[in-house]
Amino acid sequence: MKNRIRKHLTRLAPELAAKTYGFLSDHNRISALVLEDRSYTLSRLETFILSLIEYIHTGDRVKVEKGAREIAIHRSKQGISLACVLERIRMCRDTLLDQMEQDAHYFIFTEEERLELYQIRLDLYQFVDSLIDMFIHIFETEESQREKEMQTGTATRERFSEVAEQELVQLVLQSTDIAVLIIDRNLRIVEANYSFAELQQVERQQIIGTHIDETFRPRENERFVQWVIERGQSGHYVAEINGTLTTVSTSPIYHRGELWGAISVLRNITDAKRYEEELTKREALAAVGQLAAGMAHEIRNPLTSIKGFIQLLREQTETLQNTSYFSVILTEIERIDGLLNDVLVLARYRDDKIAAERFLIMDEVLGVIRLLEPESNRRGIRLELNWSGDEWYIYGYRARIKQAVLNILKNAMEAIATKGSIVEVSVYASINQVVLTVEDDGPGLEDKVLKNLFVPFYTTKPDGTGLGLSTTQRIILDHGGEIFAENSLRLGGARFEVRLPISNG
């Protein structure tokens, strides 16, 4: 039966440790050591429970007592109170006994085994009582030794260093993103981790043991760590340290009711603040986009009426003199309508009449090239296509993708109006994306232009609106793709690269 008990309880050991930890936490009995964390405590509890399970199976007191003795000496030197340690031992024992009673049906098959289980539980109870006596004796011995050390005047410094080194080094100093500083009650730096040294831009070894005011000279209203000792004031603050936005949390360190020093934990929140600002900006842009979509619709409705009446007037009163006027008016109305369409795309407006579908990307690329070939031939521009002949499907809005490709190619043709004669289009597949590149041998893109290329209403053309490439970027992003712009190393002009996810059905 003991073998069955051992196998069953060993499997439940992590759960039993967690249950013990939960009970201790609920009753505020887990916080005796300032810097002890949950995973460390759970590991200790599970190890002790496993040693008790091994005792149930083998009855070997020596091995368990040896391990318990080491724990007792270690805990005593750490400064944990005896009451706290005994509470954990009793709670581990009681949790184990309760589990054995709860799962008795797994172990008992005869009446004799029922009596045997009762005897096992009683023996375990008595054995833990003997361990408790041993812990009390060890703590009393260690306390007596500490009192002797106190008489020599060295105990306070050694005990504080021991607590800091044994627990802080193990549990905190290895952290790469949290900076930690500990000072004693004389404001001397007892410990600081490498993250703290990096934050303060100092060498860690050079500041250990120095007075905090000699090493750091913060503004009088930012002496957060010193205030714990000087005023008994701890708290949470935000400060800028060497250009880094940082939260500073401070707390006192007590041992046996006496203030030993203070601990400060610092965390870099620069990135978090930037993300928060970016989120606020995106929310504002979303609101502006919604407003823009509404205004575009309201403008388009009367514009449609104006266009209709202009066409009616032209039919009824057309003369040689006013024919050109009507043409100009209608052309400008079409221009306004095109601008409104770009605004709707930027605002992520979805027209119910346009449905998403799975289509061949090359159908739209070839369609745009055929559309622009007459213009390119007229202007002496060589429009080249590099394509293996393979077909790739993408999912989205066919007309929008065609508009994006058209915008890029038209930009390339306009860019080489003063210099250059080649626009090269390449299409190929890369893992799960189809890649479209457009390169020209024109003047290329200046750094300022590259920086603002996709910003709405930014343009270098005298008659441009600045919405073409920003609209193109929005279309590509809405299709789960990416768009990049740079100067072509091969042709010397501009190079645009579009990546869109391939639809596999």
Residues of the chain with CATH 3.30.565.10: 357-501
Residues of the chain with CATH 1.10.490: 2-152
Q: Mean pLDDT over residues 102-129, rounded?
A: 81
- 344 has pLDDT over 70: no
Decide the pairing of beta strands 422-430 and 382-387.
Answer: parallel
The better pLDDT of the pair 154, 377 is held by 377
- 156 has pLDDT over 60: no
- 160 has pLDDT over 60: no
Quote the percentage of the chain above a pLDDT of 70: 76
Residue-level pLDDT at 16: 87
Per the DSSP assignment, residues forming a β-bridge with 192 are: 181
The pLDDT tens digits for 201-241 are 888 888 888 888 887 766 777 788 888 888 888 888 877 77
- 23 has pLDDT over 70: yes
End-to-end alpha carbon distance in the chain: 59
Q: Mean pLDDT over residues 331-337, rounded?
A: 75
Domain covering 2-152 assigned CATH 1.10.287 in the classification: no
In whole angstroms, give the CA distance from residue 196 to residue 203. Answer: 10
The 10 Å CB-count burial string (b at 16+, else e) for 449-487 is eeeebbebebbeeeeebbbbbbbbbbbbeebebebebeb
Q: What CATH number does domain 168-268 carry, 3.60.20.10, 3.30.450.20, 3.30.70.1560, 3.80.30.20?
A: 3.30.450.20
Q: Mean pLDDT over residues 271-287, rounded?
A: 61
In whole angstroms, give the CA distance from residue 475 to residue 346. Answer: 8
Residue-level pLDDT at 360: 95
Q: pTM (2 decimals)?
A: 0.40
SS3 content of the chain, % helix, strand, coil (to 5): 60, 15, 25
Residues of the chain with CATH 1.10.287.130: 272-346
Give 54-73 as a 3 state SS string: HHHHHCCHHHHHHHHHHHHH
CATH topology of domain 357-501: Heat Shock Protein 90 (3.30.565)
The pLDDT tens digits for 116-148 are 887 888 888 888 888 888 888 887 777 777 667
- 283 has pLDDT over 80: no
Burial of 255 (0-12, 13-18, 19+ CB in 10 A): middle
Residue-level pLDDT at 152: 58
The pLDDT tens digits for 387-436 are 999 999 999 988 889 889 988 998 899 888 778 889 999 999 987 899 99
The CA distances from residue 242 to 17, 213, 215, 331, in Å, are: 44, 17, 14, 58
In whole angstroms, give the CA distance from residue 37 to residue 30. Answer: 10
What is the residue type of 305?
S
Residues of the chain with CATH 3.30.450.20: 168-268
- 60 has pLDDT over 50: yes
Q: What CATH number does domain 272-346 carry, 1.10.287.130, 3.30.360.10, 3.40.50.300, 3.20.20.80?
A: 1.10.287.130
Residue-level pLDDT at 169: 53
- 247 has pLDDT over 60: yes
Q: Name the least confident of 43-47, 64-68, 269-273, 376-380.
A: 269-273
Residue-level pLDDT at 66: 82
- Backbone φ and ψ of 482, nearest 5°: -140, 150
The pLDDT tens digits for 214-225 are 877 667 777 888
DSSP 248-316: EEEEEEEETTEEEEEEEEEEE-HHHHHHHHHHHHHHHHHHHHHHHHHHHHHHHHHHHHHHHHHHHHHHH
Residue-level pLDDT at 119: 85
